[in-house]
Structure 1
């Protein structure tokens, strides 16, 4: 397999927990790409922290990366929302996310009378937030947005839970509205535009490395990318039986260095 560049997922591929602790071989793999001058973008759907904060946490844990190496939903979401004249938001997500959106001049409120409902990963999601979001969409005509379209996610304790995309889909189904809601994560139109402009490598010479078979690997395979599944995340080898979109399977990122011929 001849590869000129990589898109690399973050959670479950490079890091294993909320502290962005590196998985075995992850720091060494980034060092390998840097040494060999192979272009890469860390393409993450993580919506709990701004890109700059993620990079600081990664650097603290030994990763040789900077802001130019990463694209997150928050790289693209504010500009799109502003273009669509969204001024007020009910945000389902972390306090970091709310502060970030406020810093980008959005009014973030717990009222259902808003222009938009923005769904991110929220470990404190509860019945009240469900009611406010539903009322905003159904009664007040708010537009629905999601920071990614992940079906399932994995917590630090190893347990799984519905992903951001699944929660957003719940709202659109309940309200019979916004079925084509925009999302700002991987395979989103705006997200992909930023990623491929930053990487500047032909799609058929790029590989997507991810633990997400159904959003990341199937999605980017459909765009012509090669796909590499890492077993360190939320999906297992058994899940591979449901998909034909994986070219290579690895247990450690450094296995890629020995199995993929990298064109410089």
Structure 2
């Protein structure tokens, strides 16, 4: 069994943005991991693409990815919603994920009379959508679920916008209710990730990401793995780390995933 494993964030770490243009050094690094027999998975919070479509996209970009090497919140969304006996949902997100939820057996409605509100990445979120979601929670007693708890997302124009976690937190505050998250940094997500890489000792697992909050600090708090903050994504400076508790600071700060090579030289 391999001595170490890597959980690799997608946007800002392996690829530049939603164009899924790979960082050349990311392709090199994952190829080295494969050559050395070191397990790794794409540990993404992607909430815009169906998992099968995302695998096809990444393979077309040169990544050696299959359904054993990609963990998406969509898998856990279906599992969790069914466990919670949810039949109908109001969904904030893309038509692709809406279709995925329908294919998985859920009634996706456009009004507030639903069992659950599910928040994904919605570039067309507006007041009416927030009103419907809030009404579902307050008036109909709907439960609130979120694809993940990321605060911001880097767009193609170089600017950042509120991400899924920010919108879910808005609804949680309005509806005075808890959020159940499918993605990072939920323990459910990382438990599945550990199973996929075949290692259960968190000290042997590195989470590499450009998100020091949900992916790294949140993940370290949840499961205690090693964390690597890369400056290739939405936070180009380590200044952002000043707001994070000392015991949740990243174990390593690298300019890009290329520098992770120093972590495998003795593996």
Instruction: Please give the residue correspondences for 1:149-160 in structure 2 after superposition, counting only pairs within 5 Å.
Output: 149-160=149-160
Match in the other structure for 1:242: 243
Q: Which range moves more in the overlay, 237-246 or 153-162?
A: 237-246
- Confirm or deny that 1:252 pairs with 2:256: yes
Displacement, 1:15? 0.8
**CA distance change for structure 1 residues 167 and 262 in 2, over 3 Å: closer, same or farther?**
farther
Q: 2:180 aligns with which of 179, 182, 189?
A: 182
Partner SS state of residue 118, structure 1:
strand
Distance 1:40 1:152 in 2: 25
Structure 2, unpaired ranges of 5+: none
Instruction: Please give the residue correspondences for 1:89-238 in structure 2 after superposition, counting only pairs within 5 Å.
Output: 89-176=89-176, 178-179=177-178, 181-201=179-199, 202-222=201-221, 223-235=223-235, 236-238=237-239
Give RMSD over aligned pairs: 1.5
Distance 1:84 1:250 in 2: 40
- Asked whether the equivalents of residues 45 and 185 of structure 1 are also in contact (C-alpha less than 8 Å), the reply is yes
- Asked whether the equivalents of residues 48 and 120 of structure 2 are also in contact (C-alpha less than 8 Å), the reply is yes
Deviations 1:161-191 (A, max 9, x none): 1121111111111122x22x21001121321
Distance 1:219 1:130 in 2: 26
Alignment TM-score, normalising by the size of structure 2: 0.93
Distance 1:152 1:37 in 2: 34
Structure 1, unpaired ranges of 5+: none
Q: Which range moves more in the overlay, 196-205 or 247-256?
A: 247-256
Deviations 1:190-248 (A, max 9, x none): 21221111112121111110001111111232332111111011123221233341121
Q: Which range moves more in the overlay, 121-130 or 254-263?
A: 254-263
Q: State how many pairs are aligned.
A: 260
Displacement, 1:262? 4.5
Partner SS state of residue 62, structure 2:
coil
Distance 1:252 1:90 in 2: 38
Runs of 4+ with >6 A deviation: none
Partner SS state of residue 117, structure 1:
strand
Partner SS state of residue 47, structure 2:
coil
Match in the other structure for 2:88: 88
Q: Which range moves more in the overlay, 44-53 or 214-223?
A: 214-223
- Confirm or deny that 1:79 pairs with 2:82: no
Displacement, 1:3? 6.3
